Amino acid sequence: MSKKPATAPAATTAKRNVYEVVTNLIIDQLEKGVVAWKQPWSQGANGIWPSNYATKREYSGFNAFYLNLVAAGRPALYLTYNQAKALGGQVRRGEKGHLITFFRPAERTKPAAEGQPQPEGKKKEQRGTLQYFTVFHYSQIDGIDFELPQPREEAQVPTIEQAEALVDAYTTKPAIRFMQQRAYYSPGLDYVNMPTRESFTNSGTYYSTLYHELVHSTGHQKRLNRDGIVNWVGFGAENYAKEELIAEMGASFLCGMAGIDPGIMAHNAAYIANWLQALRNDNKLVIQAASQAEKAVRFMLAPEVAESDEDQEQTSSEAGE
């Protein structure tokens, strides 16, 4: 007997704190020992990225990490309830949707300084709110003959050439040195230090570590001018956790592009405990870090594109579904 169709989800509102909703999702996964930004990437409609099946648009930022995790190794293809219905499908009764965040922009007249008249032209300032809506994985939907990406005949084996090509693409990167047996980025002197290649058990761990440090370097004032690097005061500083998560997430994006399993590094209890504490202390950490990580990777691969793009998760037009 087939399940009864689900009813359309109620319209989302901004009443719930979206940052808290997102943070609680990630905390729940961490408590289960699952690190969202260290999961192997699924094969989406247009490459490795989770995508909207109807529009072919790839999800970004937090949405990419979370929907990749939800896909659990299957093609990461999603539809809203209304999109599924328009394609002749129906979300099965009892299926739970998955949260998608988006920034709904708004424009208001910039207030004049106290005691000053409003200037001619009424200068506008961009404001907005982070909101969310719901999508469903294709496996939760009946009545649509989904065209899924064809699986590779054999597992993709990452090569040094693939991994190195991403390093080479970062044309404004700092010098990479091998002076000490530890990995770090020096903001003051603008260079990355790496242990020798022979120190790593395989090329995957070498490149995942290198990517992490190179993402840090995008924050230099002559690149993206990111607070966690420009105002770096050492480990344990207020902005340290955010900068570290940016590097973790950015390295995961790059590992996916290179075909390297980003989950290759051990998720020990101390690692997870540290992130649980950081997330509980700052419920904006995940959303903001994911957005900055994506911007960092775009800058590494195409600086002119990253500098012109605005930081927003989804457009309001897509959110209308």
- What whole-number distance in Å separates Cα of residue 247 and Cα of residue 243? 6
For 27, the token pair is 């905390």
For 216, the token pair is 């840090």
Do the beta carbons of residue 55 and residue 318 sit within 8 Å?
yes
For 99, the token pair is 């949260």
Q: Please name the amino acid found at residue 93.
A: R
Q: What are the CA-CA distances from residue 111 to residues 107, 108, 119, 124, 125 (Å)? A: 12, 9, 9, 9, 9
What burial class does residue 263 get, using C-beta atoms within 10 Å of its C-beta: 0-12 exposed, 13-18 middle, 19+ buried? middle
For 51, the token pair is 């995508």
Edge-to-edge strand ranges of the sheet holding 184-186: 175-177, 191-193, 184-186
Place of tokens 């004049």: 112
- What whole-number distance in Å separates Cα of residue 36 and Cα of residue 222? 31
3-class secondary structure, 68: helix
The enclosing H or E element of 229 equals: helix 227-230
- What whole-number distance in Å separates Cα of residue 171 and Cα of residue 52? 32
- What whole-number distance in Å separates Cα of residue 12 and Cα of residue 59? 19
Do the beta carbons of residue 250 and residue 224 sit within 8 Å?
no
**Tens-of-pLDDT digits for all 321 residues of the chain?**
455 566 555 444 444 689 999 999 999 999 999 999 988 887 655 567 899 999 999 999 999 999 999 998 899 999 999 999 999 999 999 999 999 998 877 665 655 555 556 555 555 555 568 889 999 999 999 999 999 987 655 445 556 888 999 999 999 999 999 999 999 999 999 999 999 999 998 888 899 999 999 999 999 999 999 999 999 877 766 788 999 999 999 999 999 888 887 765 556 788 899 999 999 999 999 999 999 999 999 999 987 655 544 443 333 323 333
Q: CB within 8 A of 217, min separation 6: which ones? A: 173, 174, 185, 190, 192, 223, 229
Number of other residues whose CB lies within 10 A of the CB of residue 234 = 6
- What whole-number distance in Å separates Cα of residue 296 and Cα of residue 303? 9
For 297, the token pair is 């990777």
